[in-house]
Amino acid sequence: MQFLALLAIAAVTAAAALPDHPATSGDASSLGGGFVPNCYFHEVGKRGVNVGRLTGKCSDDTTFSELYGTWLDLNLCLGNNNGTLIWQDKGNAIATSCKDCKSRHFDPQWIECSYRGRSGAWKQTSLDLNQGVRYEPGPNVLACFGHLGVSTD
């Protein structure tokens, strides 16, 4: 009986220690995204230090009365699964296996990249960043999983 009680306590403790967001997910609804309503301007950087960063001007409310500059390193959020972008905590996809990542023209919440698959061939892939990137109003930054972006203000 004591063994079962200890086992139950261990299970509850382990469940409480789990992160709020899963490490990878085919179901993006569990990732807690939704930055678009709070971010007036956002894009994936293509050049220089902004490569692989989602930059934005965001606000605590949808009136955009006060804007806060922020960026998030998407290597903390995205992985590569055989040439397909996936949500993955610290997936490091952009730094290790992609080229030509950018925001989709006229729909900048989407990232488009060329990724190398297992065969070595390059293929186009895209992902709606609004599914897994969120805006954190307290520190006024973009975030994914347990990672907070950087304020530029």
CATH number (domain holding residue 141): 2.30.60.10
Domain membership flag for residue 40: yes
Q: What pLDDT digit, counting tens, does each position of 100-130 carry?
A: 999 998 899 999 999 887 888 899 999 999 9
Domain membership flag for residue 147: yes
103 strand-pairing partners: 111
Q: How confident is the model at residue 43 (pLDDT cuts 50, 70, 90)?
A: very high
Domain membership flag for residue 55: yes
Higher pLDDT, 55 or 19: 55
CA atoms 41, 45, 49, 51: torsion sign: positive
CA atoms 86, 91, 92, 98: torsion sign: negative
Hey, is 70 helix, strand or coil?
strand
Domain membership flag for residue 3: no
The whole-number pLDDT of residue 28 equals: 54
Work out how many domains the chain is built from and give that number. 1
Domain membership flag for residue 4: no
The whole-number pLDDT of residue 37 equals: 94
Domain membership flag for residue 1: no
Can you tell me the mean pLDDT for 126-150? 96
Model confidence pTM above 0.85: no
Domain membership flag for residue 82: yes
Provide the residue range defining the domain that includes 53. 31-151
